[in-house]
Copies of this chain bind each other. A is one copy, B any other.
Amino acid sequence: HRGQESAGIVTSDGESSQAFKVHKGMGLINHVFNADSLKKLYVSNLGIGHTRYSTSGISELQNCQPFVVETLHGKIAVAHNGELTNAVRLRRKLMRHGVGLSTSSDSELITQLLAFTPPLENDDTADWVARIKNLMNETPTSYSLLIMHKDIIYAVRDPYGNRPLCIGRLIPVGDMNGKGKDNSETEGWVVSSESCSFLSIGAEYYREVLPGEIVKISRYDVQTLDVVPRPEGDPSAFCIFEYVYFARPDSIFEGQMVYSVRRRCGQQLAIEAPVEADLVSTVPESATPAALGYAQKCGLPYVEVLCKNRYVGRTFIQPNMRLRQLGVAKKFGVLSDNFKGKRVVIIDDSIVRGNTISPIIKLLRESGAKEVHIRVASPPIRFPCYMGINIPTKEELIANRPEFHDLANYIGADSVVYLSVEGLVSSVQESIKARKENENSLKTQKSRVGKIGHCTACLTGEYPVELEW
């Protein structure tokens, strides 16, 4: 669910370094793949895939991942999530060396850096770990990578751990029915940005790839090859936006369920910004955990006020004045009997441009709401992301526009309050710290992860590394 622009799969027969099977295409997975293309790909039990969500790089087939390149030591396939903070300098460096670049994608830079890494002189064996570490020296963040060569997949996360990556264990079929899961057998290994994907293929969450870690995965074995450290003193910088908006609620990051973080954000918001009202509701569906948290903390009933209109999709109608005025109302049904004459608190997960919530408020008022208060379960976004999240331009962001100063009036609400940055960070780190302290007393793995932090650049403008142009 993380990328809907393009999709691709590369499989290896595990023996020849030349015999990759590749299928890629624009659009959703269901458009790109069918029974025939999957059959073609089925040459062994080894493969990597990618769905693209465009940040840098134009939306073109050429940019579809995984990328496959032939090197002196055979073909490698590379899937990349992230965006390089020093891409411009790296492009120039590669071109100066004489490499023609055929895409605008950062991911091509990564494949060429892997192909190119010195020493090339007496390079008779391919030392992929050396090449990966060299790549990590060239660029600090952000990248989570899968690199396939012959019968091995390398899973790599940048030293700042900005993008997620985790490992799952395929449970043998027979055991899926067993009551007790004490089986030590493993049918295979899977790697994914989000753990939510494991359940749907019968795998279970095993562990995260650590910031800076290079993991070597073969059929029966998962092995840490190295953990490349950050510069002294730099904390890790996992993207806080993954918790707020991007990830699926049933995914697990840093030992905690995303849903729980969102509910805590709602609870924290109730502490920071309570309101006298009759009921708490949500803009379906991503803000529901926060709304339930808010309602519970306030002691107000949680009530549904809108239902989603499932069949409103991409519309093909030339919008005339009537339809433009209806706007977002098309997407929702109104459960007016549930709130007529009541004071309503609506919890939203974010207000980015401000043009979605406004017509909803109008709709609720027209259908009989006495008051409409907006509580936003995240802080306002004010800065661009250069590390893999596609955020509107600074000018489009409501928080940077004059209207923000009288936002309640602008969107037609009786009041509107955002969660504070501190509130968000504490909601995210609360249980990590609790667990950390517990772990510290047990002296486990401390050295490997280093100081824990989160990237809040889009909220604060404080980027974890210096940006290069």
Contacts and interface: CB of A to CB of B under 8 A. Distances in A.
Interface of A: 1, 22, 24, 28-30, 33-35, 38, 60-62, 67-72, 76, 91-92, 95-102, 104, 111-112, 114-118, 120, 173, 176-177, 181, 196, 199-202, 248-250, 256-257, 259-260, 288-289, 292, 296, 301-304, 307, 309-314, 316-318, 321-323, 325-326, 329-330, 333-338, 366
A30 B181 CA distance: 46
A181 B261 CA distance: 43
Given A250-B333, A316-B34, A326-B200, A72 B60 contact: no
Contacts of A22: 60, 62
Contacts of A333: 196, 199, 248-250
A96 B116 CA distance: 9
A278 to B, nearest CB: 14
B114 A100 contact: yes
A112 B94 CA distance: 12
A-B residue pairs, 4 tightest by C-beta: A100-B115, A69-B100, A250-B333, A98-B116
A116 B100 contact: yes
Given A30-B313, A259-B337, A288-B304, A98 B101 contact: no
Nearest to A172: B322
A38 B317 contact: yes
B317 A35 contact: yes
- Contact residues of A: prevailing secondary structure: mixed
Nearest to A95: B72
B312 A200 contact: yes
Contacts of A314: 30
A326 B115 contact: no
A41 B259 CA distance: 46
Most buried by B among A24, A98, A317: A98
Given A304-B292, A321-B173, A335 B102 contact: no
Contact of A249 (B67, B199, B335): B335
Most buried by B among A61, A104, A256: A61
Most buried by B among A24, A72, A202, A292: A72
Contact of A307 (B114, B115, B173, B249): B249
B69 A96 contact: no
Contacts of A100: 69-71, 76, 111-112, 114-116
24 contacts: A28-B311, A30-B311, A30-B313, A30-B316, A38-B316, A70-B95, A70-B102, A71-B95, A97-B120, A98-B116, A99-B116, A100-B115, A173-B321, A181-B366, A200-B326, A200-B330, A201-B322, A202-B322, A202-B329, A250-B333, A256-B337, A259-B307, A260-B338, A289-B304
A333 B231 CA distance: 38
A335 B195 CA distance: 12
Contacts of A176: 325-326
Nearest to A250: B333
Given A250-B334, A316-B30, A120 B102 contact: no
A184 to B, nearest CB: 18
Contact of A325 (B72, B202, B292, B335): B202
Contact of A337 (B62, B91, B104, B257): B257
Contacts of A71: 95, 100
A8 to B, nearest CB: 11
Contacts of A72: 92, 95-96
Most buried by B among A61, A100, A311: A100
A11 B158 CA distance: 38
Nearest to A36: B316
Nearest to A318: B35
A309 B250 CA distance: 10
Contact of A98 (B99, B256, B259): B99
Contacts of A330: 199-200
A304 B286 CA distance: 12
Contacts of A337: 256-257, 259-260
Given A30-B316, A292-B304, A311-B29, A98 B97 contact: yes
Most buried by B among A115, A199, A249: A199
Nearest to A101: B70
A29 B312 CA distance: 10
A91 B314 CA distance: 41
